[in-house]
Amino acid sequence: MHAVRRAGFDVVEYRNADRYDYPRTEIRDRAGNPQVAALRDWMRREYGVGEVVKDAGKSAGAEVQLVLGADLADTLRRRERAER
């Protein structure tokens, strides 16, 4: 989450997802927040991942929820191998 903060996004809270089998990184838009597009664009530029999902569910204090998926892990592993 440090990279997300360094990119200028406000991280209110971070924790484990409700499950561990998300194949794709999701950016959940819970309130029509205009920052969703900026976060999506940044995630795609930096990591090549990130799909916006409209989510009517409410989470206390969170208008946007970022769920990291297996696609991000794959990207990070490829980068690590390339750096060796």
**Domain residue extents for the chain:** 2-83
Give residue 19's pLDDT band: very low, low, confident or very high (50, 70, 90).
Answer: very high
Question: Whole-prediction pTM value?
Answer: 0.84
Q: What's the rounded Cα separation, in Å, for the pair 67 and 14?
A: 10
Alpha helices in 1-84 (DSSP H): 2-6, 35-47, 70-83
Q: What is the pLDDT of residues 27-70, one digit of tens each?
A: 999 888 888 999 999 999 999 999 999 876 665 567 889 999 99
